[in-house]
């Protein structure tokens, strides 16, 4: 069974799909490669990366949620992360069982692909998996050999979220902070005002040619930032609907706006807190 599916979204940039509906991204330069996120860790992402490049690897986590940092333990090397996200990582390591119960029930209802490979042991996966974190700084650059990748602090979905800008392709790797379903409603999320100011900074400081999100295989147009900005600016509690987090029971508001320029996607959802 092929578990990971890499899409070469731009030259030597692979958006790697993992069942469970999440992607890691591998950017390959002349001398090094950079892996953005490590997925759930149900299957060995390191093998999938090695099949694409044998260059030395730098690893960065967009944030500490299990579907982005769960595969960290597969690597015996330091992993860059925003300092705030260390506690998010710990929190989600402790919630594995309930997260996986939820995934399994969605799979059985036919709403999600089978999340883990044949022979996978949930019992082996449940215990806390330590990994070696190193603090990332805003504006930190990684020179992959003729290819510069820049880290941008982007508080929103969580307060320590990080995006990467690939100067070669002009693609912004936005993690869970940009996409067609944006959740800024966790106890660990930033305020909408803070998120909005980050969107402004992205527009002002970077020439973005396209956006990669963690839960979509294609490339979003750069105009997605404007659509999200409008949605944030025109937050209208009267036109939003009640949203209840399926696992934690948090209550929030959900605003739906039409999307016209994203293949296969007709609506954008922003989930945000009551004030």
67 vs 162: CA distance, rounded Å:
15
178 vs 197: CA distance, rounded Å:
14
Q: Are 155 and 139 within 8 A, CB to CB?
A: no
Minimum distance of Zn ion from residue 214's CB (angstroms):
7
Minimum distance of Zn ion from residue 222's CB (angstroms):
22
How many positions of this chain bind Zn ion (CB under 5 A)? 2
Does residue 47 sit in helix, strand or coil? helix
Binding Zn ion (rule: CB under 5 A), the pick from 65, 82, 147, 159 is 65
* Cβ distance to Zn ion smaller for residue 69 or 219: 69
* Cβ distance to Zn ion smaller for residue 166 or 176: 176
Minimum distance of Zn ion from residue 12's CB (angstroms):
26
For residue 18, state whether it binds Zn ion (rule: CB under 5 A).
no
Minimum distance of Zn ion from residue 194's CB (angstroms):
17
* Cβ distance to Zn ion smaller for residue 171 or 182: 182
* Cβ distance to Zn ion smaller for residue 144 or 173: 173
Parallel/antiparallel/unpaired status of strands 57-60 and 33-36: parallel
272 vs 234: CA distance, rounded Å:
12
Q: Are 114 and 58 within 8 A, CB to CB?
A: no
User: Binding mask 176-215 vs Zn ion (x if CB under 5 A, - otherwise)?
Assistant: x---------------------------------------
Minimum distance of Zn ion from residue 163's CB (angstroms):
13
100 vs 125: CA distance, rounded Å:
10
Using CB atoms, what's the residue nearest to Zn ion? 65
* Cβ distance to Zn ion smaller for residue 58 or 158: 158
Q: Where are the beta strands (DSSP E) in 11-158?
A: 13-18, 22-28, 33-36, 57-60, 78-81, 132-135, 141-143, 148-153
User: Binding mask 158-177 vs Zn ion (x if CB under 5 A, - otherwise)?
Assistant: ------------------x-
Please name the residue ranges forming H helices in 8-65. Answer: 45-52
> Which residues make up the interface to Zn ion (CB under 5 A)?
65, 176
């Amino acid at each position: 069974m092929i578990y990971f599916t890499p899409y070469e979204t731009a030259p030597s940039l692979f958006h790697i799909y993992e069942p469970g509906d999440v992607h890691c991204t591998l950017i390959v330069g002349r001398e090094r490669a950079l892996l953005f996120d490590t997925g759930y860790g149900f299957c060995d992402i390191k093998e999938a990366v090695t099949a694409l490049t044998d260059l030395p690897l730098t690893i960065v986590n967009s944030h500490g949620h299990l579907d982005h940092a769960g595969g960290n333990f597969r690597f015996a090397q330091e992993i860059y992360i925003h300092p705030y996200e260390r506690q998010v990582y710990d929190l989600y390591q402790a919630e594995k069982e309930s997260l996986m119960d939820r995934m399994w029930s969605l799979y059985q209802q036919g709403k999600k692909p089978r999340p883990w490979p044949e022979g996978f042991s949930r019992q082996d996966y449940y215990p806390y998996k330590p990994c070696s974190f190193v603090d990332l700084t805003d504006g930190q650059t990684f020179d992959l050999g003729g290819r510069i990748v820049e880290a941008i602090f982007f508080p929103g979905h969580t307060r320590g979220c990080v995006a990467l800008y690939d100067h070669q392709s002009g693609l912004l790797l936005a993690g869970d902070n940009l996409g067609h379903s944006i959740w800024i409603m966790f106890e660990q999320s930033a305020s909408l005002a803070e998120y909005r100011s980050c969107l402004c900074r992205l527009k002002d400081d970077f020439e973005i040619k396209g956006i990669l999100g963690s839960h979509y295989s294609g490339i979003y147009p750069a105009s997605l930032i404007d659509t999200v900005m409008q949605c944030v600016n025109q937050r209208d509690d009267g036109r939003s609907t009640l949203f209840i987090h399926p696992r934690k029971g948090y209550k929030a508001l959900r605003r739906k706006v039409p999307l016209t320029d994203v293949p296969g996607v007709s609506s954008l959802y922003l989930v945000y807190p009551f004030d």
